[in-house]
Structure 1
């Protein structure tokens, strides 16, 4: 009570102090904290509230165990109020070496390391130093994304500078007049081996370059009309970064790849950088081959075509290659086969390369493989049976590039990749093809599978297909399945742990759907989209007792929301999109007059119409 009073009614101070105390188990520890609080909160009592909060946050930082301090400071690298992906954060922590290396076989060691990293994040959340933004659908309090309170973020940046942990360049903190002296003054004072660039900061490098058009300043002006208001650092900035820089993260700012040819970047281990160029230009991403110590590489080229040069094959220490946010990738994809230490490979949706050169079977340690073309797996020297360390994979069957048939889909589902039982996430996408799913029987052995996405026609009787889905599933998405019988009875009985269900784009082509009493006991989110034939939807009393979010989108034949929705008292959010005026007006209150079906949804706190 004494400590709570000293917080002066400041919510953030109370929350953080409570998180700090939650880690103390004895009276002696509490008394020690009280002694610290008495000195740290003097500024609060003297009505300097803003300064007082900063002192409380500093106290929580100093109380962190040694292994959590770098993990906490790393969060300050992200732009203010940004949503931080847990998966990305953990991979960055591991790449930086913050997580201790554990003993054991390769795949087991990596899994344990990631579990330790997740534990670190949970500990920071428990101390109320990090806020949970979104949770995943694993049912074990998993975190999907997190964020920092703005004051906590400022503390991170401040402490990072004090300890030479990281240098964060923000647009609001720049004073650049275009001279070499200004860049030297800002960058030369830091001894940090980590450099982070935030949105609005344009770093220029005037030497001949191999990834941008002739003169970078012209490029910025051409493609960024607002660039005149953005901060920029002239070419000499490269000379003033740490001579052994280990980490360079460009979160939305602009930095030419040509700068990386400087010897100051030769020790880089972590690199995230945008690839920029004219809208109609194919950009050659070369020259990365001298960064042989890289462990993490992410290239962002939204709406840009890029060509990978063969030098990427020199990055033999690379663990993570993320080019998912590139619009189209061409070139030396075969060189990726030489990256034998690669564990996570995230490819873009569109690629142009010689599939015969891409020996995916050589990446024996690979654990995450996103957007891989099925033909690469099928034709790559028995890769379907060699890559048994995979835990997350999404596979495209695009008929534009390969003439797939039902047997190709069957081969993938029956492969050792799937039947090994290691997969936790599987996505299979069939489009521009007559191929489909003849059976899902092989999925019954996937006892660790929690996330499943299937896009393509189900060419089986329902009882021969959906009944094979593993009970471990917590997230299920079905698109273009063309299921003729109501899938809900099977899914309700077979998947008691399901927390997220999406049926979209004629996944079901029947006219009636029934959600039974006591069905889906743990379902948190239900999304129904573009089921054009659905006319009648019945929700029985007691159905979906845990449902929090319901999305109804473009169900053209559905005339009213089910009566039973009024019994789903757990609902917090209802989203209606692309439904007719009559459907929507029944759920609204206009001129203090309730619509015909308003009583069904009046208990829902948030209702949105799009």
Structure 2
């Protein structure tokens, strides 16, 4: 006999069903379609209740004291009732399928406090090969606390549509929403919005996602209210805290120790202090990797306090920084220059370290390899996360900080000691105003200027006349070249300009001491090479989406020290001339996605120092010309490494 307080599976199902309908019904005012959908589901729920009732009364019942003979007598009648119920169930399933077709896109949410592993779970799903094969296109984007709608929409468009026109850079929010909606229409897509902070951001982005059948939008958020607001009828996952045993197993994996050891008792105490938060345990494991004695573990344990979950993660992250070797601390702090939730390209990061002499060359290793090893150690210690891996490798292509790490500080005394600064500038009318409280840092060697909205036009006064010590400068906005630009920043060695120049023209001269120059999305109407090749100390030059012309010329004696040249996405470039004597020190060259470029410059045969030529996403006819036996083979056969990559 069943205990009266125990619910049957049927009553449990009815209870869940009622709770679901109540939640959905309470949200129907947000969308008229939800009200209709709830009404239809409720009607089917009543049909299911009727079927269950008939089954209990006419099929599953058993008379007390009924003999075996009578059960056989009643069997044909029960079979008949079962057939009737089967037909009713088929009708119900048909109705359910019809409702399912009307509700085509589902928005799935993962919610919970920071450090629970929301992003990790989303990545596991997003990167699974079965998931990737299921959808026609997919995109991942991180939403910061101060969402830039245009940047988020552009990033999604670039990921779902690799052939997207460069026109998207000039589109406003409404045009970008329309563009994305049109492209996704009729496709089965997956879009992940990581770390959504408020319902307003979701409401702004939602119109860009058409109701295509089988499509999914996955959100991760710290707020359950946002999850329910996005889709009250869909699945909402809240990752649970780890048990003590699970936490101990995770710590052992990260700290590289066996499950059973003399460190276990102390280790379990520390795990308990982590409160079941995966991030806290993972970072703790990174701290303990280099410690093998009980005394060292006890010292770490004493430094971990017992407080709220948020404070525990922050205290362990702070302890992890304190435990970093001296040479890694400035490298880690340097990451604070990049915008919140940004995916940082490893090549760019290492080269910025190099320019600022934060890393030095070691015997038998290049300075770039030393930088990568330092980053690998930060990743190994769980201070930095891998965003994307290099093709066919375990090493990071892009990396990012934990979203729990915050470098911001309002203390004015901090600015007196600043050496590097990322300045997120606000727009005042049509002028940028340099923050007054940053006046003490005008002697800093590194500055990255990031406008709140990258669509903002021109930065006429952002270059302060007292910036005489700058060695690294990055602009992420549309630019207006100034006459005094070069004189102000004579010491500048690393310059990155991202955005259009006024009238499509670059300055007549650049700072003469430049070692590294990156120009992307500048869309010059005139050939930039006659100006750039005069830079006597330039070692690295990257031009992506930078030139709209059909012809480009590198003249004799130009770029006397250039070692690395990257040219990409110049989709109107047809002819590139390299004269004898140009780029005599060039060792690496990348040509990427220049669809109209007909051939490798014949002048490449003069580049006797060239060790590596990479050809990515170029037309098949171009690729065939540089292969052995091709028309351009005589031009490139002296190059030891020729790498061709295409989709």
TM-score (norm 1): 0.46
Higher relative CO (Cα under 8 Å, sequence separation at least 6) belongs to 2
Structure with the bigger percentage of helix: 2
Structure with the bigger percentage of strand: 1
TM-score (norm 2): 0.44
Max radius of gyration: which structure?
2
